[in-house]
Amino acid sequence: MQLRVQNLTNLSESAPIRRSKVKDMSAEVVDSNPYSRLMALQRMGIVQNYERIREFSVAIVVCGNNVNQESLTLASALGIGGVGSVAAEMLTRCGIGRLLLYDYDKVELANMNRLFFRPEQVGMTKTDAAVQTLSDINPDVACNELNQTWMESGVSEDAVSGHIQLLIPGETACFACAPPLVVASGVDERTLKREGVCAASLPTTMGVVAGLLVQNTLKYLLKFGHVSPYLGYNALKDFFPTMEMKPNPQCSNAACLERQKEYILAKPARDAAAKAKEKEEVLVMEGPVHDDNEWNIR
Ligand SMILES: [Zn+2]
């Protein structure tokens, strides 16, 4: 028992061992391949081309009320807070091409109820601490900037509900069409925001919401499964409501109205592409299962 404690102490004091960068994602099933289990998604027919993950950039930003509608950024609310930090770690482990982290806060001991940050990182800026941890996990991810579509998420002040919302300008509701964090909690947040009362937070709720956020991000980027425009999580009732978030034709945001117009105008082209894809899939299904016919089966 004593030896065991000694070993653990040595382990925590030693510097983390960082693996060298990997040029190509390999599907080879060997213990030393960090991507074999992710590339297996291809072999299982879930994702067509997993390696495309390296072509994508995800920005994780603090999401306030002054969101710029026109910056199409795939993002998580709360910066590198409870949800953002866990989402960043998950995306790093999934091999995302580039990760851009925005947060001006420093790591505090009060953050230790959350996953991701470690006590020895107290005093570091959250971005520096995140870069340190993420580079140790996967040195193939570099942090840089690229703007994409919004994926907004948040956890309620009482820590028992959350949501993920997909914002595609013109196609789904924007922040001006419908304010985020409207459903799922059923709690009036004004009653929770009193002086001297801090918001509650649970690493479990944040872990679930971060998991759902990254799951939807992967589905959206790698084009598999269905991404709900709104997905809620109510921990008390084990309830996951989903709903459509159509844009508001009377939205107060001019850019949103412009995008809505573009989206409607592009409908015939979209329908034609969907039809062509359907036809292609039918042809693939009707085609021969094996090209070779060793046994001359007719
Ligand atoms: Zn709008």
CA 220 to chain centre: 9
User: Ligand 1 mean position to 248 CA, how many Å?
Assistant: 6
Q: Grade residue 139 by pLDDT with cuts at 50, 70 and 90.
A: low
User: Ligand 1 mean position to 76 CA, how many Å?
Assistant: 19
Question: In this predicted structure, what is the pLDDT of residue 67?
Answer: 32
Q: Which two tokens stand for residue 214?
A: 């990254």
Which segment, 12-16, 189-193, 294-298, is predicted with the most confidence on average? 294-298
Element (H, E) at 6: helix 2-13
Write the CB contacts of 59 (distance below 8 Å, at least 6 apart in sequence). Answer: 73, 74, 75, 99, 100, 101, 102, 145, 146, 147, 148
| Catalytic residue list | 198
Bridge partner list, 161: 234
Q: Which of 146, 149, 145, 144 has its CA nearest to residue 70? A: 149
More reliable by pLDDT, 175 or 156 = 156
User: Ligand 1 mean position to 51 CA, how many Å?
Assistant: 34
Q: What are phi and psi of 274, to 5 degrees?
A: -65, -40
The yes-or-no verdict on residue 8 having pLDDT over 90 is no
Q: Which two tokens stand for residue 29?
A: 């099933």
Rounded Cα gap, residues 201 and 51, in angstroms: 35
User: Ligand 1 mean position to 95 CA, how many Å?
Assistant: 33
User: Ligand 1 mean position to 178 CA, how many Å?
Assistant: 7
Helical axes 203-222 vs 82-93, angle rounded to 10°: 50
- Kindly tell me the burial class for residue 79, based on how many C-beta atoms sit within 10 Å of its own C-beta (0-12, 13-18, 19 or more): buried
More reliable by pLDDT, 149 or 233 = 233
CATH 3.40.50.720 corresponds to the domain 56-248 = yes
